[in-house]
Amino acid sequence: MVASTLRQRRYVPDLQRLGALCEGNYQRLRRLRQLETDDQDVLQFDLYRQAHYLGRVSISVLQQTRYTETLLLEQIHNSGRWLNNPELTVRVYHDASMAEVISFYGNRQIAAVNDYPNRFMHHPDEKVQLNGFVADWLDYCLRFGHVTPERSAWRHSDGVEG
């Protein structure tokens, strides 16, 4: 009887929500690419809210194939690390128009479903939560990001619209 109760409570991933987040993150990254100023592998911009400096965001191409890119998204504050600056690896699927978080802070790949409790104390829906965080963060970057002339953007691959 206890085993059947545990099975009923098992987390079932909301694939529709995850897919919507990944599609939205792809579009947000495309909009950030429009900030491109030259032909490099890194897009960097500063975040300001009014006169308050919030740090520099860097989006680097780690790997590129015909249909996918692996990007490192990180935020760095000039005075050192603060409030656990985000550092996430995102896989961009150009053929599916989706971008999903595949790891964070250099950790292993994120499971779609985690048993709970677990060794790393990941939430059962960790993958959905991280992709939701990236959606909010990229929205914030689009609203408050400022590219200065000396900042560079990553390259466009041949045949991939950016």
Contacts of 106 (CB under 8 A, 6+ apart): 87
> Rg for the chain (alpha carbons), in Å?
18
Q: Which two tokens stand for residue 40?
A: 């490099």
**Tens-binned pLDDT, residue by residue, of the chain (162 aa):** 555 554 446 767 788 999 999 999 999 999 998 766 555 678 898 888 888 888 899 999 999 999 999 999 998 875 555 556 889 999 999 999 999 999 887 666 676 666 666 666 566 677 888 999 999 999 999 998 887 655 444 443 433 443
**pLDDT, position 139:** 95
Distance CA 19, CA 12 (A): 14
Supply the pTM of this predicted model: 0.75
**pLDDT, position 124:** 62
Whether residue 124 is preceded by a cis peptide bond, meaning omega within 30 degrees of 0, is no
**pLDDT, position 39:** 54
**pLDDT, position 152:** 44
**pLDDT, position 157:** 40
Strand-by-strand arrangement of the 42-49 sheet: 98-104, 87-93, 68-76, 52-64, 42-49, 145-146
